[in-house]
Amino acid sequence: MVEIKLTNTRTRRKEAFAPIDPDRVRMYLCGPTVYDRAHLGNARPVVVFDVLYRLLRHVYGEDRVTYVRNFTDVDDKINARAAETGRPIRDITDETIGWYHDDMDALGARRPDHEPRATDYISQMIAMTADLIAKGHAYEAEGHVLFDVRSFPDYGRLSGRSVDDMIAGARVEVAPFKRDPMDFVLWKPSPGDLPGWDSPWGRGRPGWHIECSAMSQALLGDSFDIHGGGIDLQFPHHENEIAQSCCANPHADFARVWLHNEMLQVEGRKMSKSLGNFFTVRDLLDQGIPGEVIRFVFLMTHYRKPMDWTAEKAREAEATLRRWHALVAGAEDRGIVDAGIVDLLADDLNTAGALARLHAMARELVEDQSPDGAGKGVFLASARLLGLMLPGMDGWLAAGPDLSALAARLVRLREEAKATRDFAALDAFKAALIDAGVTIRMNRDGVELDPSPSFDAAKLDALP
């Protein structure tokens, strides 16, 4: 069996992955709070853990992997949106979940095996909260129930900080009924105009952190294999999940492996509404950028590195995907995946390396003139392991190829040729474009490339 290695945030080491039960590999990903469209940063963990899900299914078997991603549908942001719009909360959350499914489907992400809504697990949250009180890890104060952070000696192990360091460096909610500034809410009171449920501590609603602990325990058990999310959730959300879950179930490990993806930037800057570079997945889709292209751009950067979304990367991704689709048109996916692709993904989800391997395979296919098409089938199956070139996702190709990246390269070669008086590279590139069926129009203002009726995208992989 292929050995999968993953970088465990908790141990800060790349470790060989060994599931608790090889017949039931279990993974949990923190999902969205459903009050608005998912922005581009929200989509990165979805794509990262979708690749992991596909890899686990490939290695252990499709029926032996259980993937859970939750919906937080009780939250102050949702309450505020309901008050702002006058719409019922359930209408807002149902609509937003529908948007989320549509947008993540467009990125080629498989839907998890379970997508629990927090409001369907309130009884489990109340039971866990009561258990933590009984075990001396939580206390009631003024209608609230708070977790006693000092009662869990390992608090801070995930983020590598002591409780005192966290207090000094973090903004925490200060309330007179807290025993310690770092104590966090498990249950809070709800006035009549907000969602609430009856509990031993009065009518109220859960704190955010207890939701994932209760849902993961209900669906995956006291101990499971992998817990994931964006690095922004490491503290306090994941730190608090560990504390409450390990105290509720001291015999268990909660999650054995913790994976965190790094943050996303746009054109080299942090995505922010104040900078005018904030956009949702739907914004990009509506601009005509295909979901498959968005996914490709995500895969170009390793999940543990900050990812920079740029228009140039999107153009390059589209040009590559057009070539690849044309190259394997009519090929049949027989489920045989290139071993090199599997090994690269098994090495801590090296998606950038896997894309490089696909580029090399594409070049080999251009040079291979054998008629059996077996190599094309392997290429297609390998791309699909990455969530690319999936059935039904090629409708965007009808819009015609984007040759802008090639045009930019041609401009660079022309400038270099003028400077060096060596036109060999420019002439060779132009000849290759013409051979691929590309019409070239060059003038002092720039370059225009258009596909002719004889356009063959597969030949673009052989460009010098």
* pLDDT exceeds cutoff 80 at 451: no
Domain range holding 105? 5-264
The reply to whether 135 and 170 lie within a common domain is yes
Other Cβ atoms within 10 Å of 175 Cβ, number: 13
Total domain count for the chain? 3
Contact 390, 108 (CB under 8 A): yes
Residue 233 is given by DSSP the state G
Q: What CATH code is carried by the domain that includes residue 374?
A: 1.20.120.640
238 inside domain: yes
Give residue 162's pLDDT band: very low, low, confident or very high (50, 70, 90): confident
Angle 402-403-407 from CA coordinates, rounded to 5°:
150
Backbone angles phi, psi at 113, to 5 degrees: -70, -30
Over residues 342-351, mean pLDDT: 98
Q: How far apart are CA 280 and CA 286, in angstroms?
A: 10
Q: What is the pLDDT of residue 349?
A: 98
Per DSSP, the residues of 290-322 read -HHHHHHHHHTS-TTS-EEE-HHHHHHHHHHHH
160 inside domain: yes
The reply to whether 356 and 387 lie within a common domain is yes
* pLDDT exceeds cutoff 80 at 454: no
Q: How far apart are CA 15 and CA 231, in angstroms?
A: 19
The reply to whether 110 and 171 lie within a common domain is yes
269 inside domain: no
351 inside domain: yes
Least confident window among 51-65, 82-96, 145-159, 448-462? 448-462
Cβ-in-10-Å burial (0-12, 13-18, 19+) of 13 comes to exposed
User: How many CA atoms lie less than 13 Å away from 84 in the CB half-sphere?
Assistant: 9
What Cα–Cα distance (Å) separates residue 202 from each residue in 128, 130, 140, 189, 208?
A: 16, 13, 11, 7, 18
* pLDDT exceeds cutoff 90 at 445: no
In percent, the amount of the chain with pLDDT more than 90 equals 72
292 inside domain: no
Angle 354-69-230 from CA coordinates, rounded to 5°:
60
The reply to whether 448 and 320 lie within a common domain is no
The reply to whether 107 and 132 lie within a common domain is yes
Residue linked to tokens 């001291």: 250
Is omega for the bond preceding 236 within 30 degrees of 0, making it cis? yes
Question: For the whole model, what pTM was predicted?
Answer: 0.86
The reply to whether 386 and 413 lie within a common domain is no
The reply to whether 372 and 236 lie within a common domain is no
The reply to whether 447 and 375 lie within a common domain is no
